[in-house]
Amino acid sequence: MKRLVPIIAALLLLQACGSGPAPQHSATIHLPAVPGRPAGGYFELRIEGERGALVSVTSPQAGRIEMHETMNMANMTSMRTLARIPVHDGDILRFIAGGRHLMIYDLSPNLAPGGKIELVLHFERGEPITLSAALVAAGQEQ
């Protein structure tokens, strides 16, 4: 029993470390491999307050941004456009590869890996939230 106490304490400590609050936000934009094609946008954001739903994302450096979701059905992958994403206080809103993501069209041509752009998230309620998104090359991990 005396041997189990340190092991249990270590496991509880590891569990506590992994269950802390998520980062306020992180965002990346994967630049297109072919110029003129859309970029992919990914972020994570903890929602504070009752904002209703995310209704759009904009950027001063992009012509337009669409919210999409990747779906897999019968060994076929497809995407659909999302008009709104309901969120609640304390939720973590995630846009990830293979799931919800941003399709970013008409990026400024002078953008390059290592730079940053602003993503402005618009909700049904409350002020918009601006994220600084790191630009990465196509196929490159963050």
pLDDT digits (tens, 9 = 90+) for 11-65: 333 333 333 333 456 899 999 988 889 999 999 999 999 999 999 999 999 999 9
For strands 25-30 and 129-136, give the pairing: parallel
pLDDT of residue 141: 64
Number of structural domains, the chain? Answer: 1
With respect to residue 130, please indicate whether it lies within any of the assigned structural domains: yes
CA–CA separation, 117 and 139 (whole Å): 19
With respect to residue 113, please indicate whether it lies within any of the assigned structural domains: yes
Q: Please count the CA atoms within 13 angstroms of the CA of 2 that sit on its side-chain side.
A: 0
pLDDT higher at 36 or 3: 36
With respect to residue 114, please indicate whether it lies within any of the assigned structural domains: yes
With respect to residue 9, please indicate whether it lies within any of the assigned structural domains: no
CATH number where 54 lies: 2.60.40.1890
pLDDT higher at 11 or 100: 100
Residue 46 is part of which domain span?
Answer: 22-136
Beta strands in the chain (DSSP E): 25-30, 39-46, 53-58, 64-73, 76-82, 85-86, 92-95, 100-105, 116-123, 129-136
With respect to residue 123, please indicate whether it lies within any of the assigned structural domains: yes
